[in-house]
Amino acid sequence: MRLKSLLPLLIFLGLAAVLWVGLGLKPREVPTVMIGRAVPEFDLPPLDGRTQGLASAALRVPGVKIVNVFASWCVPCRVEHPQLSALKNLPGIALYGINYKDNVADARAFLDGLGDPFAAIGYDRSGRVSIDWGVYGVPETYVVDGDGKIVYRHVGPISDDDLKTKFTPLIERLREGA
Amino acid sequence: MRRLALILAVIFYPLMALAVGVDEARLSDPALEARARELMKELRCLVCQNQSIDESDADLAKDLRHIVRERIVAGDSDAAVRRFLVDRYGDWVLLDPPMNARMMVLWLAPLGLVVVAATTLIVVLRRRRREAAAPLTAEEEKRLQAILNATDEEAKRP
For chain A, give every domain's residue range: 34-177
Do residues B122 and B65 share a domain? no
Q: A134 in contact with B at a CB cutoff of 8 Å?
A: yes
Do residues B118 and B89 share a domain? no
Res A65: pLDDT: 96
How far off is chain B from A36, nearest CA to CA, in Å? 13
Q: Which residues pair with A141 in a beta bridge?
A: A68, A154
How far off is chain A from B87, nearest CA to CA, in Å? 7
Model confidence pLDDT, tens digit, residues B21-33: 445 788 999 999 9
**Average pLDDT for B4-26:** 60
Res A4: pLDDT: 81
Do residues B79 and B147 share a domain? no
The DSSP bridge pattern shows strands A93-100 and A64-70 to be parallel
Residue B6: C-alpha distances to residues A165, B14, B17 (Å): 51, 14, 18
The residue of chain B nearest to residue A127, with distances taken between CA atoms, is B63
Res A74: pLDDT: 95
**Contacts with A31 from chain B: Cβ below 8 Å:** 90, 92
pTM of the full structure: 0.79
Do residues B17 and B87 share a domain? yes
Do residues B89 and B15 share a domain? yes
Contact at CB, A30 and B89, closer than 8 angstroms: yes
Domain boundary among B71, B93, B115: B93
How far off is chain A from B116, nearest CA to CA, in Å? 14
Quickly count: other Cβ atoms within 10 Å of residue B153's Cβ: 9
Q: Confidence class of residue B55 from pLDDT cuts 50, 70 and 90?
A: very high
**Contacts with B51 from chain A: Cβ below 8 Å:** none
Model confidence pLDDT, tens digit, residues B76-126: 999 999 999 999 999 999 999 998 888 899 999 999 999 999 999 999 999
* Phi, psi at B70, each rounded to 5°: -60, -45
What is the number of domains present in chain B? 2
The CATH code of the domain at A34-177 is: 3.40.30.10
Examine the predicted complex and report whether its ipTM is higher than 0.90.
no
Q: Confidence class of residue B18 from pLDDT cuts 50, 70 and 90?
A: very low
Domain boundary among B53, B69, B93: B93
B105 is in which domain, residue-wise?
101-156
Do residues B125 and B58 share a domain? no
Q: Confidence class of residue A57 from pLDDT cuts 50, 70 and 90?
A: very high
Do residues B66 and B27 share a domain? yes
Q: Which CATH number does the domain housing residue B34 bear?
A: 1.10.8.640
- Which residues of B have a CB under 8 Å from any CB of A? 46-47, 49, 59-60, 63-64, 67, 86-90, 92
Cis peptide upstream of residue A157 (ω within 30 degrees of 0)? no
